[in-house]
Structure 1
Amino acid sequence: MTRNNLPRRQFSASASRSEAITSNPKLGKLWRREYFSANGSLEFSKAQWKSPVLAHEVSTPKGAAVWENAATETTPPPIPQSQPLPAAPNDASEPPHRRRKRLKAEANGEAPLPLDASSRLSTLSSTMPAASLRRLLTTCLSLSKPRLSFLIVLTAATAYSIYPVPALLLPTTTASPSLSALTLVFLTSGTALCCASANALNMLLEPKYDAQMSRTRNRPLVRGLIGKKGALVFASVAGVLGVGSLWFGVNPTVAFLGGLNIVLYAGVYTPMKRISVLNTWVGALVGGIPPLMGWAAAAGQSATGSGEWQELLFSEGSIGGWLLAGLLFAWQFPHFNSLSWPIREEYKNAGYRMLVWTNGRMNGRVALRYAILCFPICVGLWWFQITDQGFLVTSSAINAWMVREAWRFWRKEGHKGSARGLFWASVWHLPVVMVLAMLHKKGLWEGVWKRVNGESEEDMWMEEEVIQVPEAKGRPLHVVRALTPAGS
């Protein structure tokens, strides 16, 4: 039996595909692209072949119309050709060679990091009715960068909570053994509004460049979910309310620092990104100001002098605020240097002067250097009696984790997943250290222990001290008994 006489197998699926391709040439081209792209990389083709395809069904435009409607609802509006967007993963238009490159990068841990909260909120906002209040509120929340704002508010609240309670505010003097909770409310709400204003102004100044980067091209101004006038109104209202809340609810020094942060972030850091790599240091300076705000808010309640900025920021008791500010300043380098590494080429193409592409080796050294600096800063918090000895152990563990990842990031120059490892270490590092500082506040657990043992509140805070006053101008030696804070 010759080869030509062999019976041919009949496949019903192949026949139906052939009929479908004959009636729709575009579908045939798509199928061939799928075949040479490792059979299954294209989401559109997957959707087409999930159910049996009949010839008369393929010829109708119904399926295509449904796909087009779904795409317009979940993707940003088209951007001019002068601002090309990188091909999204699993996109039907992704060429095979780019797909192979992307999969190789993902295998090496070099894939771009997940989108930020602003991008996710923009997608959610686009699914809501255009004139609804929910869409407006969701868009405004997206402008404020909620995750970043939350971390900033956490640092301010931490500084406020671990401020050493002076004898003036002890329960024998006042009705409350701690600082004012109402002041804390004004501090956190005012700081959050100032952050929202600064972040909205940042987006307002660079939508053209945000459209060129994968992490930012889904932001509300790029997608057209809100106009520039609307974003400016939101930023202005948030800024005025934020600074006003800090002025009337906290003190003028904290209000000045909140307004200064808006100016530095939107007016200095944002334009400087296209001028010099020093923009990262300016951004780190902006991040170090919120802990000073929290510290100055607490110090203002126990000021013995005029309560001016010199006393709140540069007195002997202000060292804790500056240590926390230094911790935030140092933390931002391992965080941002690892965050920017997977998208270094996008920064370069968009014209941002970032150390990650101008000097990649130095980018890793800087991240490692400032990660190591977190150790002495945490030791300083214990040395100056801000936290107890337990903070040395717990903070050293989380600092060691970030230093280890920073060392891998420097040695491997960001490859083999080292950038992703340092990024996630830095994401967890900041909130964990802030919470540990609050849990290890000096004197916190001593007070809990005394309460468990049944000691009275007055005995916990005060003890009797005998003071001998020497003879002076004919007066005999006498003894004075006074109550002073316990352990002083």
Structure 2
Amino acid sequence: MAASPHTLSSRLLTGWVGGCVWYLERRAMQESPHKFMHLFRNINKQWITFQHFNFLKRMYVTQLNRSLNQQVKPKPEPVTSPFLEKISSGQAKAEVHELRPISPPSLPLSRKANEKELIELESASVIEASIDVGNATKEEKQWKEMKLHVDDLPGILARLSKIKLTALVVSTTSAGFALAPGPFDWPCFLLTLLGTGLASCAANSINQFFEVPFDSNMNRTKNRPLVRGQISPLLAVSFATCCALPGVALLTWGVNPLTGALGVFNIFLYTCCYTPLKRISIANTWVGAVVGAIPPVMGWTAATGCLDAGAFLLGGILYSWQFPHFNALSWGLREDYSRGGYCMMSVTHPALCRRVALRHCLALIGLSTAAPILDVTTWTFPVISLPINLYISYLGFRFYRDADRKSSRKLFFCSLWHLPLFLLLMLTCKQPPDYLLRGTWRRTVWKEHLQLVAGLKFVQRPGSLFLLQ
């Protein structure tokens, strides 16, 4: 098979390499494919690869087409910028240039000038934008004094005093006052609510004052007024003092000394015991539950002036309710509490957290049964409160079993409506005043009967029961 003249000329131009390729082609046509692959492997070891074939092919094409000129379309005109003048139609004509193997195609001078102007304008705008951004970042980094406006002060002080928590404290205090036996005294009731609300505002403000460095690490509390610097610590302490002094004074002299003493004790327990204990031990949850159980007791003592079984029953109800409420809330905030450095059951003892929540959900059923036994409510109350107590116990069991965010959120939201409904049912089933009077009358008649029969005189001494003399 004879080779063409062009093929022979190309092989002569490539020298020894071309001869090797010609030899390989002749052998490949004569021998079998197996021998050709064997020969190709041997030649490949001598640094002959497919790159050589491609190189020879490119050289052959360029040598044969040396005299040809390749025509290409010019690049499209750049889009006119609003900062540039309109380009004349004569400058936008397409031109065909002969491509040389060495020199690149030349562009019109007008296009080069326009492109230079466009590049200069774009660079200038970029520089101006970078300067503006740099100035903005410098202004943001500079320290600025926050100015406190008088119009914003009520909202800031409301967030400082945790107005929602204060409203819950006042509502439980009013429930304790309303459930207490005896006539309803409106002036005493209003003074009790006002004094308790002021005491709660003072305790919450001092709590935020102590926890500023820790609240700044938590997403839940990073927007508090002291953390953001909306008010100074001196103003926060002054506000707490202005709330604590008149609040305790109203409870002590406007209501009775026992209620005032409970108010002072609750402020001390919340600010000096519960607040520092949050970073030391999980016992802070039990201490905080005692703090939340005291307001209804204060309402009871404000109406009766003494501590009896009914006051401790209301305190026990609020004490047990807080565990499913707070444990379910803290379960979804475990990352926040650990980031803030707080020692919570949900972080350090998750199994105990769920177990305690379920235990106190079931305790609410027992406390409901104890209410009629202590003459606080009728026997209707344990019956009508059983469905809501069983439902919160069921959610507490789901939280104990599943231990996920979904079950904890359900238990938390259930606790929000369970407490007001529970206290409302207690008020509707409260023992009537005539029942208590009948009970007092029976005890008085029975005592007089014993005096007549035995001829003995009953003397009531301080701190003792009726004694025979």
Number of matched pairs: 321
Q: Is 1:139 equivalent to 2:129 in the alignment?
A: no
CA contact 1:274–1:352 (8 Å) conserved in 2: yes
Secondary structure class of the residue paired with 1:333: helix
Among residues 404, 422, 425, which one is paired with 2:414 in the alignment? 425
Aligned residue runs from structure 1 range 371-382, under 5 A: 371-382=361-372
For residues 21-52 of structure 1, the C-alpha deviation after alignment (integer angstroms, 9 at most, x for no partner) is xxxxxxxxxxxxxxxxxxxxxxxxxxxxxxxx
Residue 471 of structure 1, CA deviation = 9.0
Match of 1:219 in 2: 224
Match of 1:162 in 2: 179
User: Displacement of 1:249 after TM fit?
Assistant: 1.0
1:271 to 253, 271, 276: 276
For 1:341, the equivalent position in structure 2 comes to 331
Match status 1:362 vs 2:352: yes
Q: Contact 1:151–1:431 (CA<8 Å) still a contact in 2? A: no
Matched, 1:439 2:428: yes
CA contact (8 A) 1:197 1:239 kept: yes
- SS for the counterpart of 2:415 is helix
Deviation at 1:394, TM superposition (A): 2.7
| Contact kept? 1:158, 1:437, Cα under 8 Å | no
Deviation of residue 284 (structure 1)?
A: 0.5
Post-superposition Cα deviations, 1:167-210, rounded to whole Å, max 9, x if no partner, equal xxxxxxxxxxx231100011001001111000001100011111
In the alignment, is the contact (CA less than 8 A) between 2:181 and 2:433 conserved in 1?
Answer: no
Query: Is the 2:170–2:196 Cα contact (8 Å) retained in structure 1?
Result: yes
Q: Which residue does the alignment assign to 1:197? A: 202
Of 245, 257, 260, the residue aligned with 2:262 is: 257
Residue 397 of structure 1, CA deviation: 1.9
Cα 1:134–1:445, aligned 2, differ >3 Å: closer, same or farther?
Answer: farther
Alpha-carbon deviations, 1:423-445, whole Å to 9, x = none? 10111111211222112211279
Aligned counterpart for 1:209 among listed residues 203, 207, 214: 214
Closer, same or farther: CA 227–470 of 1 in aligned 2, 3 Å: closer
TM-score (norm 1): 0.60
Shift of 1:130: 4.6
Cα distance, 1:390 vs structure 2: 2.5
Q: Deviations over 1:102-134 (max 9, x none)?
A: xxxxxxxxxxxxxxxxxxxxxxxxxxx954333
Match of 2:285 among 255, 275, 280: 280
Q: Does 1:353 align with 2:343?
A: yes
Task: Give the C-alpha shift of residue 408 in structure 1.
Answer: 0.6
Identical aligned residues as a percent: 37
- Asked if the contact 1:195/1:262 (under 8 Å) is kept, the reply is yes
Change (3 A) 1:282 1:214: same
| Matching residue within 313, 331, 335 for 1:323 | 313
Match of 1:412 among 380, 395, 402: 402
Q: Distance in 1 between matches of 2:274 and 2:404?
A: 25
Unaligned segments of structure 2, at least 5 residues: 1-78, 82-121, 456-469
- The change in CA–CA distance for 1:413 and 1:186 in structure 2 (over 3 A counts) is same
Shift of 1:339: 0.5
**2:220 touches 2:336 (CA, 8 Å); kept in 1?**
no
Contact preservation (8 Å) 2:148, 2:230: no
Q: Over the residues paired in the alignment, what is the CA RMSD in angstroms?
A: 3.6
Q: Within 2, Cα distance between the matches of 1:229 and 1:470?
A: 69
Amino acid at match of 1:420: R
**Residues 1:237 and 2:227 aligned together:** no
User: Is the Cα–Cα contact under 8 Å of residues 246 and 252 in structure 1 kept in the other structure?
Assistant: yes
Q: What's the CA shift for 1:363? A: 0.8
Identify the match of residue 189 of structure 2 among 163, 175, 184: 184
Q: Distance in 1 between matches of 2:386 and 2:434?
A: 20
One-letter code aligned to 2:217: Q
Partner Cα separation in structure 2 for residue 153 and residue 398 of structure 1: 23
How does the TM-score come out when normalised to structure 2?
0.62
Describe the superposition over 1:296-325 as per-residue Cα deviations: whole angstroms up to 9, x where unpaired. Answer: 11112xxxxxxxxxxx12xxxx10100010
**Whole-Å separation in 1 of the counterparts to 2:279 and 2:204:** 17
Instruction: List aligned pairs for 1:77-96, cutoff 5 A.
Output: none
- Contact 2:148–2:231 (Cα < 8 Å) also in 1: no
State the alpha-carbon separation in 2 of the partners of residues 152 and 133 from structure 1: 28
Contact 1:344/1:357 (8 A) holds in 2: yes
Shift in Å, 1:386: 0.7
Q: Is the Cα–Cα contact under 8 Å of residues 338 and 414 in structure 1 kept in the other structure? A: no
| Matches of 2:333 and 2:213, distance apart in 1 | 17
Aligned residue type for 1:222: V
Q: How has the CA–CA distance of structure 1 residues 221 and 388 changed in structure 2, closer, same or farther, with 3 Å as cutoff?
A: same
Could you tell me which residue of structure 1 aligns to residue 233 of structure 2?
Answer: 228
**Which structure features the higher share of helix residues?**
2
Unpaired runs of at least 5, structure 1: 1-15, 20-54, 81-128, 166-177, 301-311, 448-457, 474-488
Which amino acid letter does the alignment assign opposite residue 441 of structure 1?
Answer: K
